[in-house]
A and B are shown apart, each in its own frame.
Chain A
Amino acid sequence: MANLRDIKRRITSVHSTRQITRTMEMVATAKIKKAQERIESARPYAMSMMEVLGNVARNAKGAEHPLLLEHEERRRVAVIAVTGDRGLAGAFNSNILRMTERFIREQLDAGVEVDLLAIGKKAGGYFRYRGIEPVAAYRDISGNPTFADAKSIAAHVIPAYAGGNLDEVVIMFNRFKNVAEQVPEQYKLLPIRATMLDEAAKDSDVTAEYVFEPDAESVLEHLLPTYVETLIYRALMESAASEHGARRKAMKSATDNATDMIGTLTRSYNRARQAAITTEIAEIVGGAAALED
Protein backbone atom coordinates (compact mmCIF):
# COMPACT_ATOMS: atom_id res chain seq x y z
CA MET A 1 0.00 0.00 0.00
CA ALA A 2 3.00 2.32 0.51
CA ASN A 3 3.36 2.48 -3.27
CA LEU A 4 -0.14 3.93 -3.65
CA ARG A 5 0.57 6.69 -1.16
CA ASP A 6 3.89 7.51 -2.85
CA ILE A 7 2.23 7.95 -6.22
CA LYS A 8 -0.48 10.12 -4.69
CA ARG A 9 2.14 12.34 -3.11
CA ARG A 10 3.99 12.73 -6.39
CA ILE A 11 0.81 13.69 -8.20
CA THR A 12 0.13 16.41 -5.65
CA SER A 13 3.66 17.73 -5.94
CA VAL A 14 3.64 17.84 -9.75
CA HIS A 15 0.26 19.56 -9.50
CA SER A 16 1.58 22.41 -7.43
CA THR A 17 4.64 22.75 -9.69
CA ARG A 18 2.33 23.04 -12.64
CA GLN A 19 0.41 25.76 -10.89
CA ILE A 20 3.59 27.78 -10.49
CA THR A 21 4.84 27.31 -14.05
CA ARG A 22 1.42 28.15 -15.44
CA THR A 23 1.33 31.39 -13.43
CA MET A 24 4.83 32.29 -14.58
CA GLU A 25 3.77 31.65 -18.14
CA MET A 26 0.85 34.03 -17.80
CA VAL A 27 2.93 36.70 -16.10
CA ALA A 28 5.53 36.49 -18.87
CA THR A 29 2.83 36.80 -21.52
CA ALA A 30 1.59 40.01 -19.94
CA LYS A 31 5.11 41.38 -19.65
CA ILE A 32 6.00 40.68 -23.28
CA LYS A 33 3.24 43.06 -24.28
CA LYS A 34 4.55 45.85 -22.08
CA ALA A 35 8.10 45.31 -23.26
CA GLN A 36 6.97 45.42 -26.87
CA GLU A 37 5.10 48.67 -26.29
CA ARG A 38 8.26 50.12 -24.82
CA ILE A 39 10.20 49.20 -27.94
CA GLU A 40 7.47 50.79 -30.03
CA SER A 41 7.50 54.05 -28.11
CA ALA A 42 11.24 54.35 -28.60
CA ARG A 43 10.83 54.28 -32.36
CA PRO A 44 9.93 57.98 -32.94
CA TYR A 45 13.15 59.11 -31.28
CA ALA A 46 15.28 56.63 -33.18
CA MET A 47 13.70 57.64 -36.48
CA SER A 48 14.04 61.38 -35.89
CA MET A 49 17.58 60.80 -34.78
CA MET A 50 18.43 58.98 -38.00
CA GLU A 51 16.85 61.81 -39.97
CA VAL A 52 18.95 64.43 -38.22
CA LEU A 53 22.02 62.23 -38.50
CA GLY A 54 21.42 61.85 -42.23
CA ASN A 55 21.15 65.61 -42.73
CA VAL A 56 24.27 66.23 -40.73
CA ALA A 57 26.23 63.49 -42.47
CA ARG A 58 25.37 64.91 -45.88
CA ASN A 59 26.75 68.27 -44.86
CA ALA A 60 29.77 67.01 -43.02
CA LYS A 61 31.05 64.71 -45.75
CA GLY A 62 34.36 63.15 -45.04
CA ALA A 63 34.25 64.35 -41.47
CA GLU A 64 36.63 62.42 -39.29
CA HIS A 65 35.30 61.47 -35.95
CA PRO A 66 37.10 59.24 -33.47
CA LEU A 67 34.05 56.98 -33.17
CA LEU A 68 34.03 56.35 -36.94
CA LEU A 69 37.73 55.66 -37.10
CA GLU A 70 38.79 52.05 -37.28
CA HIS A 71 41.87 51.27 -35.19
CA GLU A 72 44.65 49.50 -37.04
CA GLU A 73 45.77 47.44 -34.12
CA ARG A 74 43.54 45.45 -31.85
CA ARG A 75 45.00 45.44 -28.38
CA ARG A 76 41.99 45.74 -26.13
CA VAL A 77 38.34 45.15 -26.91
CA ALA A 78 35.23 45.52 -24.78
CA VAL A 79 32.29 43.14 -24.80
CA ILE A 80 28.90 44.00 -23.34
CA ALA A 81 26.98 40.86 -22.39
CA VAL A 82 23.27 41.50 -21.88
CA THR A 83 21.52 38.85 -19.80
CA GLY A 84 18.64 38.79 -17.35
CA ASP A 85 18.60 38.80 -13.57
CA ARG A 86 16.70 35.54 -13.28
CA GLY A 87 16.83 32.11 -14.81
CA LEU A 88 13.96 29.80 -15.75
CA ALA A 89 13.94 31.20 -19.26
CA GLY A 90 15.25 28.31 -21.31
CA ALA A 91 18.40 29.06 -23.26
CA PHE A 92 17.93 32.82 -22.98
CA ASN A 93 20.87 33.47 -20.68
CA SER A 94 23.07 30.51 -21.57
CA ASN A 95 23.11 31.41 -25.28
CA ILE A 96 24.56 34.82 -24.49
CA LEU A 97 26.95 33.49 -21.87
CA ARG A 98 28.29 30.82 -24.18
CA MET A 99 28.66 33.25 -27.08
CA THR A 100 30.44 35.77 -24.88
CA GLU A 101 32.73 33.18 -23.38
CA ARG A 102 33.74 31.91 -26.80
CA PHE A 103 34.38 35.49 -27.94
CA ILE A 104 36.54 36.22 -24.91
CA ARG A 105 38.56 33.02 -25.42
CA GLU A 106 39.18 33.85 -29.08
CA GLN A 107 40.38 37.33 -28.21
CA LEU A 108 42.64 36.11 -25.42
CA ASP A 109 44.08 33.44 -27.70
CA ALA A 110 44.85 36.13 -30.25
CA GLY A 111 46.65 38.12 -27.59
CA VAL A 112 43.95 40.76 -27.28
CA GLU A 113 42.86 41.97 -23.87
CA VAL A 114 39.17 41.96 -23.08
CA ASP A 115 37.07 44.24 -20.89
CA LEU A 116 33.80 42.63 -19.91
CA LEU A 117 30.69 44.62 -19.06
CA ALA A 118 28.19 42.30 -17.46
CA ILE A 119 24.56 43.37 -17.72
CA GLY A 120 22.24 41.28 -15.56
CA LYS A 121 22.93 39.18 -12.50
CA LYS A 122 23.40 36.06 -14.59
CA ALA A 123 26.34 37.41 -16.57
CA GLY A 124 28.04 38.81 -13.48
CA GLY A 125 27.73 35.54 -11.56
CA TYR A 126 28.74 33.29 -14.46
CA PHE A 127 31.95 35.12 -15.33
CA ARG A 128 33.01 35.90 -11.78
CA TYR A 129 32.76 32.18 -11.03
CA ARG A 130 35.04 31.52 -13.99
CA GLY A 131 37.61 34.01 -12.83
CA ILE A 132 36.77 36.75 -15.31
CA GLU A 133 36.11 39.89 -13.32
CA PRO A 134 33.83 42.35 -15.18
CA VAL A 135 35.07 45.95 -15.36
CA ALA A 136 31.48 46.98 -14.75
CA ALA A 137 28.45 44.96 -13.68
CA TYR A 138 24.84 46.06 -13.78
CA ARG A 139 21.78 44.42 -12.35
CA ASP A 140 18.06 45.16 -11.98
CA ILE A 141 17.98 46.60 -15.48
CA SER A 142 16.20 43.87 -17.37
CA GLY A 143 12.82 44.56 -15.76
CA ASN A 144 12.62 48.09 -17.07
CA PRO A 145 15.64 49.35 -18.99
CA THR A 146 15.87 53.15 -19.12
CA PHE A 147 17.83 55.42 -21.39
CA ALA A 148 19.83 56.49 -18.36
CA ASP A 149 21.00 52.88 -17.97
CA ALA A 150 22.11 52.83 -21.59
CA LYS A 151 23.92 56.13 -21.13
CA SER A 152 25.70 54.87 -18.08
CA ILE A 153 26.87 51.75 -19.92
CA ALA A 154 27.95 53.84 -22.90
CA ALA A 155 30.01 56.07 -20.60
CA HIS A 156 32.29 53.09 -19.95
CA VAL A 157 33.12 52.51 -23.60
CA ILE A 158 32.70 55.70 -25.66
CA PRO A 159 35.42 57.85 -24.04
CA ALA A 160 37.70 54.82 -23.87
CA TYR A 161 37.29 54.16 -27.58
CA ALA A 162 37.73 57.81 -28.51
CA GLY A 163 40.82 57.98 -26.32
CA GLY A 164 42.38 54.92 -27.92
CA ASN A 165 42.18 52.64 -24.88
CA LEU A 166 39.68 50.38 -26.61
CA ASP A 167 39.92 49.19 -30.20
CA GLU A 168 36.52 47.59 -30.61
CA VAL A 169 33.25 47.35 -28.70
CA VAL A 170 30.72 44.59 -29.28
CA ILE A 171 27.40 43.91 -27.60
CA MET A 172 25.83 40.45 -27.20
CA PHE A 173 22.09 40.37 -26.71
CA ASN A 174 18.97 38.45 -27.64
CA ARG A 175 17.22 40.12 -30.54
CA PHE A 176 13.45 40.03 -30.26
CA LYS A 177 12.29 38.71 -33.63
CA ASN A 178 8.77 37.94 -32.53
CA VAL A 179 6.95 36.60 -29.51
CA ALA A 180 8.08 33.04 -30.18
CA GLU A 181 11.58 33.66 -31.48
CA GLN A 182 14.63 35.28 -29.94
CA VAL A 183 17.94 35.24 -31.73
CA PRO A 184 21.24 35.74 -29.91
CA GLU A 185 23.17 38.41 -31.75
CA GLN A 186 26.65 39.84 -31.71
CA TYR A 187 26.68 43.47 -32.83
CA LYS A 188 29.68 45.71 -33.30
CA LEU A 189 28.97 49.06 -31.65
CA LEU A 190 32.31 50.71 -32.22
CA PRO A 191 33.74 51.70 -34.57
CA ILE A 192 30.46 52.92 -36.03
CA ARG A 193 29.94 51.48 -39.48
CA ALA A 194 30.78 54.27 -41.92
CA THR A 195 28.13 53.00 -44.33
CA MET A 196 25.50 53.79 -41.70
CA LEU A 197 26.02 57.51 -42.29
CA ASP A 198 25.80 57.13 -46.06
CA GLU A 199 22.57 55.18 -45.76
CA ALA A 200 21.09 57.79 -43.44
CA ALA A 201 22.19 60.58 -45.76
CA LYS A 202 20.56 58.90 -48.75
CA ASP A 203 17.13 59.15 -47.13
CA SER A 204 17.42 62.81 -46.21
CA ASP A 205 15.75 65.62 -48.11
CA VAL A 206 18.36 66.93 -50.51
CA THR A 207 16.48 70.10 -51.42
CA ALA A 208 16.64 71.59 -47.93
CA GLU A 209 19.61 73.80 -47.24
CA TYR A 210 20.19 73.38 -43.56
CA VAL A 211 21.83 75.84 -41.27
CA PHE A 212 23.94 74.14 -38.63
CA GLU A 213 24.73 75.58 -35.29
CA PRO A 214 27.57 75.81 -34.46
CA ASP A 215 28.48 73.76 -37.60
CA ALA A 216 27.77 70.35 -39.09
CA GLU A 217 30.96 68.79 -37.73
CA SER A 218 30.27 69.83 -34.13
CA VAL A 219 26.68 68.63 -34.31
CA LEU A 220 27.94 65.32 -35.66
CA GLU A 221 30.38 65.12 -32.79
CA HIS A 222 27.49 65.40 -30.35
CA LEU A 223 25.19 63.12 -32.29
CA LEU A 224 27.41 60.08 -32.73
CA PRO A 225 27.73 59.24 -29.03
CA THR A 226 23.97 59.66 -28.66
CA TYR A 227 23.54 57.33 -31.61
CA VAL A 228 25.60 54.66 -29.85
CA GLU A 229 23.55 55.19 -26.70
CA THR A 230 20.31 54.61 -28.58
CA LEU A 231 21.76 51.39 -30.02
CA ILE A 232 22.57 50.17 -26.52
CA TYR A 233 19.16 51.27 -25.25
CA ARG A 234 17.51 49.36 -28.06
CA ALA A 235 19.56 46.23 -27.29
CA LEU A 236 18.56 46.43 -23.61
CA MET A 237 14.88 46.70 -24.51
CA GLU A 238 15.01 43.89 -27.05
CA SER A 239 16.75 41.71 -24.51
CA ALA A 240 14.05 42.48 -21.93
CA ALA A 241 11.30 41.55 -24.35
CA SER A 242 13.20 38.42 -25.40
CA GLU A 243 13.61 37.35 -21.79
CA HIS A 244 9.86 37.36 -21.28
CA GLY A 245 9.33 35.57 -24.58
CA ALA A 246 11.87 32.89 -23.69
CA ARG A 247 10.45 32.48 -20.20
CA ARG A 248 6.95 32.13 -21.53
CA LYS A 249 8.05 29.37 -23.90
CA ALA A 250 10.06 27.57 -21.23
CA MET A 251 7.19 27.75 -18.76
CA LYS A 252 4.69 26.62 -21.36
CA SER A 253 6.63 23.45 -22.07
CA ALA A 254 7.15 22.92 -18.34
CA THR A 255 3.39 23.19 -17.83
CA ASP A 256 2.75 20.79 -20.71
CA ASN A 257 5.28 18.31 -19.34
CA ALA A 258 3.67 18.50 -15.91
CA THR A 259 0.27 17.77 -17.46
CA ASP A 260 1.69 14.71 -19.24
CA MET A 261 3.35 13.56 -16.06
CA ILE A 262 0.15 13.89 -14.05
CA GLY A 263 -1.60 11.79 -16.70
CA THR A 264 1.00 9.03 -16.52
CA LEU A 265 1.07 9.09 -12.74
CA THR A 266 -2.72 8.97 -12.49
CA ARG A 267 -2.75 5.93 -14.75
CA SER A 268 -0.21 4.09 -12.65
CA TYR A 269 -2.09 5.14 -9.52
CA ASN A 270 -5.30 3.65 -10.87
CA ARG A 271 -3.53 0.52 -11.96
CA ALA A 272 -1.95 0.08 -8.52
CA ARG A 273 -5.30 0.68 -6.85
CA GLN A 274 -6.98 -1.89 -9.13
CA ALA A 275 -4.22 -4.39 -8.43
CA ALA A 276 -4.70 -3.88 -4.70
CA ILE A 277 -8.44 -4.46 -4.97
CA THR A 278 -7.94 -7.58 -7.09
CA THR A 279 -5.47 -8.99 -4.56
CA GLU A 280 -7.93 -8.30 -1.74
CA ILE A 281 -10.78 -10.07 -3.53
CA ALA A 282 -8.54 -13.02 -4.34
CA GLU A 283 -7.62 -13.24 -0.67
CA ILE A 284 -11.26 -13.14 0.47
CA VAL A 285 -12.30 -15.73 -2.11
CA GLY A 286 -9.35 -17.90 -1.12
CA GLY A 287 -10.23 -17.52 2.59
CA ALA A 288 -13.89 -18.37 1.98
CA ALA A 289 -12.94 -21.42 -0.05
CA ALA A 290 -10.70 -22.61 2.76
CA LEU A 291 -13.59 -22.29 5.26
CA GLU A 292 -15.99 -24.33 3.11
CA ASP A 293 -13.83 -27.43 3.27
Chain B
Amino acid sequence: MGRTLLCEIVTPERIIYTSEVKMVVAPTIDGEVGILPLHAPLVSALKPGEIRVRYGDDEVEWFAISGGYIQVHMDKVIILADHAAIASQIDVERARHALELAEKRMAELPKDAEAEISACEQQLKWCEIQVEVAKKA
Protein backbone atom coordinates (compact mmCIF):
# COMPACT_ATOMS: atom_id res chain seq x y z
CA MET B 1 0.00 0.00 0.00
CA GLY B 2 3.00 2.23 -0.36
CA ARG B 3 4.34 4.80 2.00
CA THR B 4 2.28 5.75 4.99
CA LEU B 5 2.25 8.38 7.71
CA LEU B 6 2.05 7.77 11.41
CA CYS B 7 -0.72 9.99 12.69
CA GLU B 8 -1.15 10.76 16.38
CA ILE B 9 -3.91 12.89 17.87
CA VAL B 10 -3.14 13.83 21.46
CA THR B 11 -5.04 15.86 24.04
CA PRO B 12 -3.67 16.87 27.45
CA GLU B 13 -5.77 14.14 29.00
CA ARG B 14 -4.84 11.22 26.74
CA ILE B 15 -3.91 9.92 23.30
CA ILE B 16 -7.12 9.95 21.27
CA TYR B 17 -5.89 8.18 18.21
CA THR B 18 -2.77 6.71 16.69
CA SER B 19 -2.54 4.85 13.40
CA GLU B 20 -0.75 4.44 10.06
CA VAL B 21 -2.61 6.47 7.48
CA LYS B 22 -2.32 7.64 3.89
CA MET B 23 -3.27 11.24 4.27
CA VAL B 24 -4.20 13.79 6.91
CA VAL B 25 -6.13 16.99 6.29
CA ALA B 26 -6.16 19.56 9.08
CA PRO B 27 -7.60 23.08 9.48
CA THR B 28 -4.78 25.61 9.87
CA ILE B 29 -5.26 29.24 10.78
CA ASP B 30 -5.00 30.32 7.14
CA GLY B 31 -6.95 27.52 5.54
CA GLU B 32 -6.45 23.80 5.22
CA VAL B 33 -3.36 21.69 4.95
CA GLY B 34 -3.18 18.21 3.43
CA ILE B 35 -0.30 16.03 4.55
CA LEU B 36 0.96 13.16 2.41
CA PRO B 37 3.99 10.98 3.06
CA LEU B 38 7.35 12.71 2.47
CA HIS B 39 5.87 16.06 3.43
CA ALA B 40 8.40 18.70 4.44
CA PRO B 41 8.78 19.35 8.19
CA LEU B 42 5.98 21.64 9.26
CA VAL B 43 4.68 23.24 12.41
CA SER B 44 1.40 25.09 12.33
CA ALA B 45 -1.32 26.34 14.60
CA LEU B 46 -4.74 24.82 14.00
CA LYS B 47 -8.11 26.46 14.38
CA PRO B 48 -11.22 24.69 15.66
CA GLY B 49 -12.56 22.43 12.96
CA GLU B 50 -12.47 18.98 11.47
CA ILE B 51 -9.61 16.64 10.69
CA ARG B 52 -9.87 14.08 7.90
CA VAL B 53 -7.74 10.99 7.96
CA ARG B 54 -7.62 8.81 4.86
CA TYR B 55 -6.54 5.17 5.03
CA GLY B 56 -7.28 3.71 1.63
CA ASP B 57 -9.08 4.98 -1.44
CA ASP B 58 -12.38 5.60 0.21
CA GLU B 59 -11.79 4.85 3.85
CA VAL B 60 -12.01 8.13 5.69
CA GLU B 61 -12.28 8.93 9.36
CA TRP B 62 -13.37 12.30 10.77
CA PHE B 63 -12.32 14.02 13.94
CA ALA B 64 -13.52 17.16 15.64
CA ILE B 65 -10.84 19.30 17.27
CA SER B 66 -11.05 22.52 19.23
CA GLY B 67 -7.88 24.03 17.84
CA GLY B 68 -4.27 23.25 18.62
CA TYR B 69 -1.06 22.50 16.74
CA ILE B 70 0.24 20.15 14.11
CA GLN B 71 3.81 19.01 13.69
CA VAL B 72 4.98 16.99 10.69
CA HIS B 73 8.41 15.44 10.71
CA MET B 74 9.79 12.28 9.08
CA ASP B 75 6.37 10.90 8.10
CA LYS B 76 5.07 11.42 11.60
CA VAL B 77 2.14 13.72 12.17
CA ILE B 78 1.46 14.86 15.72
CA ILE B 79 -1.71 16.82 16.35
CA LEU B 80 -1.98 18.52 19.73
CA ALA B 81 -5.48 19.64 20.61
CA ASP B 82 -7.28 20.86 23.72
CA HIS B 83 -10.24 18.68 22.84
CA ALA B 84 -10.56 16.04 20.17
CA ALA B 85 -13.18 13.42 19.38
CA ILE B 86 -13.67 10.73 16.75
CA ALA B 87 -16.76 11.56 14.71
CA SER B 88 -18.30 8.12 15.19
CA GLN B 89 -18.03 8.42 18.96
CA ILE B 90 -19.49 11.89 19.38
CA ASP B 91 -22.61 11.89 21.46
CA VAL B 92 -24.72 14.32 19.43
CA GLU B 93 -27.44 14.61 22.05
CA ARG B 94 -24.94 15.54 24.67
CA ALA B 95 -23.13 18.00 22.45
CA ARG B 96 -26.45 19.68 21.57
CA HIS B 97 -27.36 19.86 25.22
CA ALA B 98 -23.97 21.35 26.11
CA LEU B 99 -24.43 23.84 23.29
CA GLU B 100 -27.73 25.03 24.72
CA LEU B 101 -26.25 25.27 28.20
CA ALA B 102 -23.31 27.31 26.92
CA GLU B 103 -25.65 29.64 25.02
CA LYS B 104 -27.74 30.16 28.10
CA ARG B 105 -24.72 30.87 30.26
CA MET B 106 -23.33 33.23 27.65
CA ALA B 107 -26.49 35.32 27.80
CA GLU B 108 -26.32 35.55 31.57
CA LEU B 109 -22.66 36.51 31.89
CA PRO B 110 -21.89 40.09 32.83
CA LYS B 111 -20.14 42.10 30.12
CA ASP B 112 -16.94 42.66 32.10
CA ALA B 113 -16.22 39.00 32.88
CA GLU B 114 -13.77 38.65 30.02
CA ALA B 115 -12.16 35.42 31.19
CA GLU B 116 -15.53 33.70 31.52
CA ILE B 117 -16.81 35.02 28.23
CA SER B 118 -13.84 33.82 26.23
CA ALA B 119 -14.03 30.40 27.91
CA CYS B 120 -17.72 30.26 27.11
CA GLU B 121 -17.13 31.22 23.50
CA GLN B 122 -14.60 28.45 23.12
CA GLN B 123 -17.01 26.00 24.66
CA LEU B 124 -19.74 27.11 22.26
CA LYS B 125 -17.48 26.72 19.27
CA TRP B 126 -16.37 23.28 20.37
CA CYS B 127 -19.95 22.09 20.78
CA GLU B 128 -20.89 23.43 17.35
CA ILE B 129 -17.99 21.62 15.73
CA GLN B 130 -18.86 18.37 17.44
CA VAL B 131 -22.43 18.53 16.20
CA GLU B 132 -21.19 19.45 12.71
CA VAL B 133 -18.59 16.69 12.48
CA ALA B 134 -20.85 14.04 13.97
CA LYS B 135 -23.08 14.32 10.90
CA LYS B 136 -20.27 13.07 8.70
CA ALA B 137 -19.65 9.84 10.56
Instruction: Using CB atoms and an 8 Å cutoff, list the residues of chain A in contact with chain B.
Output: 38, 41-42, 44-46, 48-49, 51-52, 55-56, 146-148, 150-152, 155-156, 159, 205, 208-214, 216, 218-219, 222-223, 226, 229-230, 233
A42–B30 contact, CB under 8 A? no
B30–A151 contact, CB under 8 A? no
Interface SS, A side: helix
Q: How far is the CA of A263 from the CA of B74 in the complex (A)?
A: 67
Residues of B within 8 A of A44 (CB): 8, 10, 14-15
Given A42-B12, A45-B10, A48-B10: A210 touches B82 (CB 8 Å cut-off) = no
B111 to chain A, nearest CB (A): 16
B40–A211 contact, CB under 8 A? yes
Residues of A within 8 A of B12 (CB): 42, 45-46, 147, 150, 229-230, 233
Q: How far is the CA of A233 from the CA of B41 in the complex (A)?
A: 29
Q: How far is the CA of A216 from the CA of B69 in the complex (A)?
A: 12
A213–B115 contact, CB under 8 A? no
Closest residue of A by beta carbon distance from B123: A148
Cross-chain contact of B41 among A148, A155, A208, A219 (Cβ < 8 A): A208
B115 to chain A, nearest CB (A): 4
Closest residue of B by beta carbon distance from A221: B45
Given A211-B41, A211-B42, A233-B12: A52 touches B80 (CB 8 Å cut-off) = yes
Q: Which 10 A-B pairs have the closest CB atoms?
A: A213-B44, A155-B115, A147-B12, A208-B41, A210-B41, A41-B14, A222-B45, A45-B10, A45-B12, A211-B42
Q: How far is the CA of A213 from the CA of B40 in the complex (A)?
A: 12
B28–A52 contact, CB under 8 A? no
Closest residue of B by beta carbon distance from A150: B12
B43 within 8 A of A: yes
A119 to chain B, nearest CB (A): 15
B71–A151 contact, CB under 8 A? no
Q: List 26 A-B contacts (CB under 8 A).
A: A41-B15, A48-B10, A52-B43, A52-B69, A52-B71, A55-B71, A146-B13, A150-B12, A155-B115, A155-B116, A155-B118, A156-B115, A205-B73, A208-B74, A209-B40, A209-B41, A211-B42, A212-B44, A213-B44, A214-B30, A218-B45, A219-B43, A219-B45, A219-B69, A222-B45, A226-B68
Interface string of B1-29 (1 = CB under 8 A from A): 00000001011111100000000000011
B114 within 8 A of A: yes
A213–B41 contact, CB under 8 A? no
